Structure 1
């Protein structure tokens, strides 16, 4: 157990590698109840969300979800978020746990004259992420909804083991799966029932190796207040509309996020990335990939250096060769 965003969080249960493999090949469950949930509702709910985010929220139908950002005014992100449309004028926004207070203050500061009601429901919800290629077949006998009819980014009510929940066909592992929103008081019971039907408990360690193999950015590493998000491979998020922070976000980023493969030595956040002996950037996330069998990393490097094929990563004063590689590193 480790402290994380004000919570005690599990790094591992049986072991990172076993948990990682369970999610890649079978089904695992992560307790991500620390994530924040804000309810956005009212006549101007859509207008407000269109103003505070760069993706086109008008494209979300009731019962669907969308990945989005909260930009700041200087070309960085307050947070990266998911938006779920619960009704005609009602949305649920899921934010990163360590950013709950900051995000709430940011949204309140932009509320202005919008006819919108904001509610912080973070303490109300438990959130269990059931992930892996066997997620659907494992949950189906215990739920009152035909899961095969639910496509990626679906968001819908259901009864799971007789409990009222909402499910979203979303996740942070690169695998299929469902995030289960439940009453916080019922989360422990649901967790125990999932383990009883053979779902493997998985911790933060496996969550990080899985998301990194899938090339998913992590706020505080690949995204941040002073990191231009368009340096990443997520340039598809902003749409052609007016929104807070638009001009700063349209500025050309000076860096680019790239993938690196190493032969033996795993690298960590902050390690210098070099080209021809000169520092051109730094590692934002790195691990030894359990699926691929070699170290991988994401790195922010100077844009003019980003297209090179070969780099070095400095580890304790020694340079180790690294090859630029496509992201995601792994696709199911």
Structure 2
């Protein structure tokens, strides 16, 4: 099991540690609900250093990324980031990721922890362009400061004007005296905030500086459990649950990051799906009675026929009802459709709703 550079901090703070994607990670500190509301109302701080980081540089770097990702890297300017995915050869998804353009012929790519080796091998396989690839995953740390107070907390520690960095933009600057920090206006909570990337040796220093800066704003450390309830309320996909090697971006509602004005892996498969329509779709649903949907629960129609499967589910702390994402067969995936979630052999009513939930 790997540990992040902040492992000792989590233990000293009394975090509950669990295995996740080959790492020992904090799943919660004070409790999921308290952490969830801290991020929605004030701020929360997450160690997400288990994520993977690759640098792709030099001649051929843009061409390689154009080939292996669905979004159009050509539209990226220096200091901009792009949500995208790596399609496989069968019309599925190898991973979802963020591509950062640092400069011409210099890109920074952030991938999911569970897929670091798989993604590296997949991208390498297509690197006939001679791009220089560096796997920096074991050398870099990542802290996410999320919530309405995140900007004020981080601003106290940097001369970089954070208000000048729009959503999905970034800069490289100093934070708490640490140089060369990638300061990115991104996140996985839907409550705004920043993600900062830096070398492992600076992790404890930055964690402590942020903790101190955030105290007056009520910021607390948060674990992976609240990160999951936060992303789910916003309808964000989680790899391994809502998207995987068998789901297409068109089915998963990620058509907006699938650009057909360039060549890429499985382009023809996705173009056909877009043209002919899909037989199943990832949708959000809300329970109509008190019940919590969970991953892999069956979705059925009024007659009890199986029409889909729940991919993610939880009790929404904000709405205080069960919510989830599910792949549902046509025509039941239409907005407003009445469906049922099979929970312990009982079919509980639910409704297909527009995302996000909050």
| TM-score normalised over the length of structure 1 | 0.97
Which residue number corresponds to residue 147 of structure 2? Answer: 132
Which residue number corresponds to residue 337 of structure 2? Answer: 309
Residue 297 of structure 2 corresponds to residue 271 of structure 1:
yes
SS at match of 1:305: coil
- Runs of 4+ in structure 1 deviating by more than 4 angstroms, as ranges, are none
Q: Deviations over 1:220-279 (max 9, x none)?
A: 111100112211222111112111121222342321111111131111000000102111
| TM-score normalised over the length of structure 2 | 0.90
Q: Deviations over 1:42-84 (max 9, x none)?
A: 1111111111111110111111100011000111011001000
Residue 346 of structure 2 corresponds to residue 318 of structure 1:
yes
Alignment of 1:137-286 (within 5 A): 137-164=152-179, 165-197=181-213, 198=215, 199-240=219-260, 241-252=262-273, 253-262=278-287, 263-276=289-302, 277-286=304-313
Q: Deviations over 1:98-134 (max 9, x none)?
A: 000000110111112x031011010111000110011
Alignment of 1:27-38 (within 5 A): 27-38=43-54
* 1:103 aligned residue (112, 116, 119): 119
Kept in 2, the 8 Å contact 1:168–1:178? The answer is yes
Kept in 2, the 8 Å contact 1:172–1:216? The answer is yes
Residue 93 of structure 2 corresponds to residue 77 of structure 1:
yes
Shift of 1:304: 2.5
C-alpha RMSD of the superposition: 1.1
What CA distance in whole angstroms lies between the structure 2 residues aligned with 1:251 and 1:227? 15
Q: Deviations over 1:264-320 (max 9, x none)?
A: 111100000010211100100000000111110101011222126211101111111
Structure 2 unaligned residues grouped into runs of 5+: 1-16
What CA distance in whole angstroms lies between the structure 2 residues aligned with 1:94 and 1:251? 29
What CA distance in whole angstroms lies between the structure 1 residues aligned with 2:167 and 2:150? 13
Q: How many corresponding residue pairs?
A: 329
SS at match of 1:236: helix
What CA distance in whole angstroms lies between the structure 2 residues aligned with 1:255 and 1:220? 18
What CA distance in whole angstroms lies between the structure 1 residues aligned with 2:158 and 2:43? 16
Structure 1 unaligned residues grouped into runs of 5+: none
Higher relative contact order (Cα pairs below 8 Å, separated by 6+ residues): 1
Residue 136 of structure 2 corresponds to residue 115 of structure 1:
no
Residue 311 of structure 2 corresponds to residue 291 of structure 1:
no
What CA distance in whole angstroms lies between the structure 2 residues aligned with 1:250 and 1:190? 45
What CA distance in whole angstroms lies between the structure 2 residues aligned with 1:115 and 1:6? 31
